Structure 1
Amino acid sequence: MAAVLRLSANDPVVIALSPLPKGSTLAPDFPVTVTTDIPAGHKVAITRIAEGDRVNRLGHPIGLASQEILPGDHVHEHNLAYSGTLANRAINTRDRVQPANEIANFLGFRRPDGRAATRNYIGVLTTVNCSARVARMIAGHFTAEVLEAYPWIDGVMALTHTSGCSISDGTPSMDMLRRTLAGYAAHPNFVGVLIVGLGCEDNQIDLLCRETGLKLGMNIRSLTIQDLGGTTASINAGIAEVEQMIALAKETRREPIPVSELVVGLQCGGSDSFSGLSANPALGAAVDILVSQGGTAILSETPEIYGAENILLQRVADEEVGRKLIDLLTWWDGYTSKEPHGFDHNASPGNRAGGLTTILEKSLGAVSKGGSSSLNAVYHYAEPVREKGLVFMDSPGFDPVSATGQVASGANLIVFTTGRGSCFGCRPSPSLKLATNTPIYNRMREDMDINCGVVIDGQMNIEEMGRVIFEQIIRTASGEKTASEILGYGDDEFAPWHINAWT
């Protein structure tokens, strides 16, 4: 196996596939001697790069040299500067992918409104932080021992948050909170939901329903702590409501459903330099299969397409989609201007330790999760996704916040790539974890579902890995538990996005 990988003929750097000690040579591929120790995943210059020159990865600019860089030098934060996006924002349209004649099935639940579910949970949601304790006590009653009597239910969970008050109607945070709660309350993976309010909060239950069109009924119920006379009475009433919803769900059964009804949220977290070489493009290959069979994939994390937006803008379904994407990036430019490093603050210490120097470099890998299909729609955070195919939903780059928005938008499954070892779940939607490299897969085996490091190891190509991921998506949608589900992840990661004062 080669020691380094050159991703494009236009790149003045190569990627170290394993640690390179000082004094080692890159011959016979490159007549270069390494001038310092290079960690795996990091960049090595193979030509002289003058101060101020663009440095490319995959043929795309990831920054400007802040000083002269000589062949064999380590290229990283000390000599590669963030420069703002260098991407061309010209818009080019592409025809939408036509679904294939043969469409695979998964075994899912068909809801009365026709939507497809991959899980059968009962949820306890809160309008405000003040009702969180009661919600957790209601859900906590339904222990594993209690649930043995209800094998048709995957679990009862409380999803709580820190907001719901001191935010006014009409503000972005209130709108996003209500969209998120309504999206979860009506989510097909919940066979029943109880909404718990305190009573005096800004986010009143009736206002939540009125503003979002959410309808209370047999499967979406509510209670208010102050109306019921306090904590204990509310817990008892909540347990009774959940027991009734469990009983109503007894006849639900899995049945064959076309994968065209899967909505998959795409996430990457704890990324490294290998993310854009293995797991992310392999997930993109799986997305292309899903889209070709009529399914939907949601790409998100707007700060993590910055610098690589041209890749998406070259394949939008129409001009309006392209303009919406540019408008989001313009908003984020202003939003992040308050940060010391603007967009570039997104690349975390773990990302940088894994070889990613700038947000422009990180974005190249993140965008590849979307495959090569046309981009059919752009949505605001937690808006219901109506279009099929590849779509984009605005969100921050923080995974719990982003995935929460995707689930609220309708994602009934999440696929999450990681190169550093993120521990994550996103109930009620199962979350598949893809390791980008074999060492992290082996070190964190209980948290990972698929080892995409075999691509780096030369044992499988991107298309083959994409097929493996697609087939695992079907098995997961059909009920096979993911690593994060076995470990119990998914409740604490419920994190609606807040951008207003006091929240």
Structure 2
Amino acid sequence: MKSKTLKINSTDNIEVALSDLKVGNSINSGTEVYDLITDVQAKHKFATTDLQPGDDVIMYGVLVGKATKAIKRGEVITTGNISHAANNYKLKERKISWDVPSVSAWEDRTFMGYHRDNGTVGVANYWLIIPLVFCENKNVQVIQDAFMKGLGYNDSDSSYYNQVQQLVKMHRAGIAREDILNIDLNALETDVKAEDRVFPNVDGVKFLTHSLGCGGTKDDAINLCGLLAGYITHPNVAGATVLSLGCQNAQISLLKEQIAKRDVQFSKPLYCFEQQQVGTEADLMKLAIKQTFAGLMKANEIIRKPAPLSKLCIGLECGGSDGFSGISANPALGYTSDLLVALGSSVILSEFPELCGVEQELSDRCIDENVAQKFMALMTAYHERAKAVGSGFDSNPSAGNIRDGLITDAIKSAGAAKKAGTSPVIDVLDYPEQVSKPGLTLLCTPGSDIESTTAEVGAGATLVFFTTGLGTPTGNPIAPVVKISTNTTLYKKMNDIIDIDAGTIITAEETIKQVGERILDYIIEIASGKVKAKAETLGHNDFIPWKRGISL
């Protein structure tokens, strides 16, 4: 018989409802029986003992809140009776031993990737067009309009374009408004197909427009150029075209410095144009379009070849999380993370505001004291900056998080950290630094989905695996973003954006280990180009640089 509740750690004094529970129900959990005195919705928690104001609320074996009023055994936990709380942390002894999972089934597996001159291997082959300053966004848009349909890259949204064109034709032909409203748009013809691509070995031309680059601090310019350099040197990128106005802080020379920091022998095609030197906008466009086309011809010569799984770098992300995230999708992805580390791959855990309360565990897992101290210093500085502007990590949970059971940041964080598995932390990076070692790396970013995903890819993630309990369409211009649902209801409801269902853990159809292994098999399929992530198919090319400040 499937259990109705879950006690995650033996020291916990709250328990998770796996389905809707009604007041008066008697819940059998291990050797205990709880008589519910309130309704408890699925994903939410109830107290397993009487709590007094000020008492600790424990979940995942860590402090996640404080009781703000008396709570009875069997009573639902809400924002009305507990508040966020988390333990302090300090440098302690290393705890870097871990149970290395068996990877014999994958040791000889390969993926089909794009091999770069610097030894990295991409899972895709893109060309980038980037403005160094927002003043050039319009010119980038002009190139986008010229290239996308002309080169056959409108796969994701061409059907909508063609639907509009068909409706225009019908309107001009005098078809009545009422008749147009009854037309089945899915039945309309489309005229752009994948086989129309001029460069079949180039997965696309991507345009990274943004609102930065002009004023701001020197650090703003350095961080922007560092992020853009991370994309230009990225294994999934064949080359890039860069447009500069000329008078902004984010100069071409600064970008090239950041590129050299990441790839000393950088050899990809890179075409940089400065409008104030070239002259007219028309001349700038002619130069950029002609050289970009020539660069695409070169990029099209690259083909997929076998590569070991150790060449993969996976970003671990979550967004639209719910009360099941920490017990289904996140630990399953954590098991995948351990498998990848055992295979010599790299994995990245980011979203520092969503690690509040588990700092001690993660710092103890750092490979040496220097790495641990860097992690703790970044966490402390981030939290202090947040408090200085009248906020704090406790403000992180969204309305959707709270509605679906994540009622304190510490509850959310303890579940979010499960994505990192159990392996040692090899390195800690500050934004926008780049991964340079195999194993688990922590990257300082906001918890905001797109800012964090943007940063992980800039740090070198060739794929991002993204857990969600509520659903989110987040994607990335150059790296597949694969969605894993925490519950089967979401998987069925939003199957156009969800790739993998981990809700089978909640229904006891599969174990965490089985789902984690299934995720790894899917990673190989995605990395080889055999399957497309739903976000990629739908054309979600989200790119938001983090303007270093307070973003939770």
Q: Give the structure-1-normalised TM-score.
A: 0.94
CA distance in 1, matches of 2:432, 2:545: 9
Map of 2:134 onto structure 1: 129
Q: 203-212 vs 240-249, which deviates more?
A: 203-212
Query: Of 98, 122, 139, which aligns to 2:144?
Result: 139
Map of 1:160 onto structure 2: 209
User: Does 2:26 align with 1:21?
Assistant: no
Q: Deviations over 1:427-482 (max 9, x none)?
A: 20111111011111111111001000000110000111110001111111111210
User: Does 2:225 align with 1:178?
Assistant: yes
CA distance in 2, matches of 1:191, 1:212: 14
Structure showing greater radius of gyration is: 2
Q: 429-438 vs 230-239, which deviates more?
A: 230-239
Shift of 1:64: 0.9
Which amino acid in the other structure matches residue 164 of structure 1? G
Q: Deviations over 1:4-50 (max 9, x none)?
A: 11112222211111122333332476533333332210001122112
Name the SS for the 2:504 alignment partner: helix
What is the 5 A alignment of 1:287-306? 287-306=337-356
Query: Of 184, 204, 208, which aligns to 2:255?
Result: 208
Name the SS for the 1:434 alignment partner: strand
Name the SS for the 1:213 alignment partner: helix
Which amino acid in the other structure matches residue 154 of structure 1? D
Query: Of 434, 447, 465, which aligns to 2:515?
Result: 465
Shift of 1:128: 0.6
User: Does 2:541 align with 1:497?
Assistant: no
In 2 relative to 1, CA 99–427 (structure 1 residues): closer, same or farther, beyond 3 Å?
farther
Whether the 8 Å CA contact 1:91–1:313 is kept in 2: the answer is: no
Query: Of 397, 415, 437, which aligns to 1:365?
Result: 415
Name the SS for the 1:448 alignment partner: coil
Query: Of 444, 454, 479, which aligns to 1:394?
Result: 444
Map of 2:41 onto structure 1: 39
Name the SS for the 2:466 alignment partner: strand
Map of 2:94 onto structure 1: 92
CA distance in 2, matches of 1:500, 1:266: 22
Map of 1:3 onto structure 2: 4
Map of 2:78 onto structure 1: 76
Query: Of 61, 66, 69, which aligns to 1:67?
Result: 69
CA distance in 2, matches of 1:275, 1:28: 21
Which amino acid in the other structure matches residue 333 of structure 2? L
Which amino acid in the other structure matches residue 4 of structure 1? T
Whether the 8 Å CA contact 2:36–2:75 is kept in 1: the answer is: yes
CA distance in 2, matches of 1:91, 1:236: 61
Query: Of 266, 269, 292, which aligns to 2:319?
Result: 269
Which amino acid in the other structure matches residue 369 of structure 1? K
Query: Of 35, 52, 66, which aligns to 2:54?
Result: 52
Map of 1:485 onto structure 2: 536
Which amino acid in the other structure matches residue 338 of structure 1? A
Whether the 8 Å CA contact 1:412–1:430 is kept in 2: the answer is: yes
Whether the 8 Å CA contact 1:269–1:422 is kept in 2: the answer is: yes
Which amino acid in the other structure matches residue 544 of structure 2? A
Query: Of 350, 371, 378, which aligns to 1:328?
Result: 378
Q: 144-153 vs 459-468, which deviates more?
A: 144-153
Which amino acid in the other structure matches residue 357 of structure 2? G
User: Does 2:383 align with 1:383?
Assistant: no
Shift of 1:107: 0.5
CA distance in 2, matches of 1:274, 1:87: 26
The alignment of Structure 1 onto Structure 2 pairs a total of residues equal to 497
Whether the 8 Å CA contact 2:336–2:519 is kept in 1: the answer is: yes
Shift of 1:77: 0.6
Q: 319-328 vs 20-29, which deviates more?
A: 20-29
Q: Deviations over 1:400-430 (max 9, x none)?
A: 1112111111111111111111111012011
In 2 relative to 1, CA 218–114 (structure 1 residues): closer, same or farther, beyond 3 Å?
closer
Q: Deviations over 1:31-80 (max 9, x none)?
A: 33333332210001122112211111122110111111002211121111
Name the SS for the 1:36 alignment partner: coil
Q: 282-291 vs 307-316, which deviates more?
A: 307-316
Shift of 1:121: 0.7
Q: 330-339 vs 436-445, which deviates more?
A: 330-339
Query: Of 236, 241, 244, which aligns to 1:189?
Result: 236
Q: Give the structure-2-normalised TM-score.
A: 0.86
Name the SS for the 2:388 alignment partner: coil
CA distance in 1, matches of 2:101, 2:50: 46
CA distance in 2, matches of 1:421, 1:86: 33
User: Does 2:207 align with 1:150?
Assistant: no
CA distance in 2, matches of 1:27, 1:175: 57
Whether the 8 Å CA contact 1:275–1:436 is kept in 2: the answer is: yes
In 2 relative to 1, CA 7–141 (structure 1 residues): closer, same or farther, beyond 3 Å?
same
What is the 5 A alignment of 1:337-376? 337-376=387-426
Map of 1:110 onto structure 2: 115
CA distance in 2, matches of 1:477, 1:304: 28
Q: Deviations over 1:110-153 (max 9, x none)?
A: 01222101001111011111111111221232225523121111
Whether the 8 Å CA contact 1:35–1:72 is kept in 2: the answer is: yes
Q: Deviations over 1:240-273 (max 9, x none)?
A: 1221111112221111100101111111111111
Whether the 8 Å CA contact 2:325–2:469 is kept in 1: the answer is: yes
Map of 2:525 onto structure 1: 475
CA distance in 1, matches of 2:278, 2:266: 18
CA distance in 2, matches of 1:87, 1:208: 37
Map of 1:407 onto structure 2: 457
CA distance in 1, matches of 2:479, 2:28: 48
Name the SS for the 2:35 alignment partner: coil
Q: 160-169 vs 351-360, which deviates more?
A: 160-169
Whether the 8 Å CA contact 1:98–1:294 is kept in 2: the answer is: no
Q: What's the C-alpha RMSD, in Å, of the aligned pairs? A: 2.1
Which amino acid in the other structure matches residue 208 of structure 1? L
Which amino acid in the other structure matches residue 134 of structure 2? N
Whether the 8 Å CA contact 1:53–1:65 is kept in 2: the answer is: yes
Name the SS for the 2:477 alignment partner: coil
Whether the 8 Å CA contact 1:89–1:309 is kept in 2: the answer is: no
In 2 relative to 1, CA 64–86 (structure 1 residues): closer, same or farther, beyond 3 Å?
farther
Shift of 1:91: 4.0
Whether the 8 Å CA contact 1:263–1:412 is kept in 2: the answer is: yes
Whether the 8 Å CA contact 1:91–1:322 is kept in 2: the answer is: no
Identity %: 34
Shift of 1:230: 3.6
Which amino acid in the other structure matches residue 128 of structure 2? G
Q: Deviations over 1:373-396 (max 9, x none)?
A: 111011111212111101111111
CA distance in 1, matches of 2:68, 2:345: 44
Name the SS for the 2:69 alignment partner: coil
Whether the 8 Å CA contact 1:93–1:319 is kept in 2: the answer is: no
CA distance in 1, matches of 2:70, 2:88: 20
